[in-house]
Amino acid sequence: MSDYDYDLFVIGAGSGGVRAARFSANYGARVAIAEDMFMGGTCVNVGCIPKKLFVYAAHFHDDFADSAAFGWTAEAKGFDWRTLVDNKDTEIKRLNGIYERLLENAGVEIVTGRATVVDPHTVAVAGTQYSTANILVATGSWPVVPDIPGREHVVTSTEAFYLDELPKRAIIVGGGYIAVEFAGIFNGIGVDTTLMYRGPLFMRGFDQDVRSHLAGEVDKAGVDLRFSTNIAAVEKTPSGLVATCEDGAKVETDLIMYATGRAPKVDGLGLEEAGVKLGDDGAIIVDDHFKSSVDSIYAIGDVIGHMQLTPVALAEGMAVARTLFGNEPTKADYDYVATAVFSQPPVGTVGLTEEEARERHGDVAIFRSTFRPLKHTLTGRDAQTMMKMIVDKKTDRVLGVHMVGDDAGEILQGIAVALKAGATKAVFDSTIGIHPTAAEEFVTMREPVPDPVAEAAE
């Protein structure tokens, strides 16, 4: 038993912090966790969970319309925003309670309030100081809005989950997955939606075929895509908001939501004063075991600026618990981390993009298929699914798999297991498909697309 009050004090009760706290306590450590906002962090409260609930809501308009082709007489008679928000809030409150009970059942002491680091072994919350052998910072990230005139009139994804009423018109600013997801949500529930992005094509960092195919599908769904466009100023008027773009164009709207990035939530924590080194972006610099420049202070999740994904934060939290209290120094494995974008249609991806694969492995084979889903052979809806596989020609190992289409996230989870296990294209080819499904396309793609160099030489 040490002379400290705790063996570990966790700042931030998001997914990663809660996982680290629980499992450290299970190893026998004396653990406290501080939270000043809500149990479960961004994902549970203003991220993954409410966002996907909103995505479900956005699908129903098309589902009602499509049902006619299958013999149903149904129509969307109206949408009540308040009902969706209230039901979402009820579910989030339930999840908050679950997180709290998980911590209590593990023997973790919950401290309510904003925590700051006093020194490498002291944390202060609401005027009370706690001594601890180790500190874990798991405070996550927060949306960033550029400093433009009228920025006080815009919202971020955080506020979008709690709007008092649904706007008739909305502008979403940004080109990342949050912007694309919210554009689909608002468009699906009947908002006249415009997506503005300063670059030539959204979803930077994703496979180029994924980006271009998704842009086409989002455009067909009715979202007004305005690439190479950026807002210079926002003005509030009696009838709503006016966005003045850098090219001088003016767009009237009722809501402007910025999704232009998130910054590590480190302000006011006292980290630098305690000797913790931060990167240029404000992220806490850590080693492979999540130790900062101060031996007793660790950090995980969005605040370290790596992969901003809930399952990654969970893995990092588990690694810290094992390293500190399980006598098992553990690193997080970032290879073949699958992810999904709940756009409409959704994206699923695991492994390398084509661009990354060519840069790292040189000679690769590309298998790609685009087709109309079986469902829409009856509805007549102009929807196209795209699937893509990237294979190392030298080893036959599958380096990356990407999909744009219904259930992409569900399908790619299983594919991720195969890639993690080192599956080759021959393994996919020898696997019998499930018919009729979209997923079977991944085991029936036989002919690679022409190599771009050879094609250009013809």
| Cβ atoms of 318 and 371 closer than 8 Å | no
In angstroms, what CA-CA distances link 258 with 179, 307, 337? 8, 21, 27
Query: Which one is catalytic: 59, 213, 306, 435?
Result: 435
Question: What letter represents residue 427's amino acid?
Answer: V
Q: Tokens for 69?
A: 């082709």
Helix 15-26, helix 81-106: angle, nearest 10: 20
**What count of Cα atoms within 13 Å lies in the side-chain half-sphere of residue 179?**
31
Residues 6+ apart with CB under 8 A from 425: 365, 367, 389, 391, 396, 397, 398
Tell how far CA 15 is from the center of its chain: 13
Active site residue 435: yes
| Separation between Cα atoms, residue 199 and residue 213, nearest integer Å | 16
Residue 48: name the closest of 306, 338, 339, 334 by CA.
339
Cβ atoms within 10 Å of 114's Cβ, excluding its own: 15
The H helix count followed by the E strand count for the chain is 13, 22
What residues are labeled active site?
Answer: 435
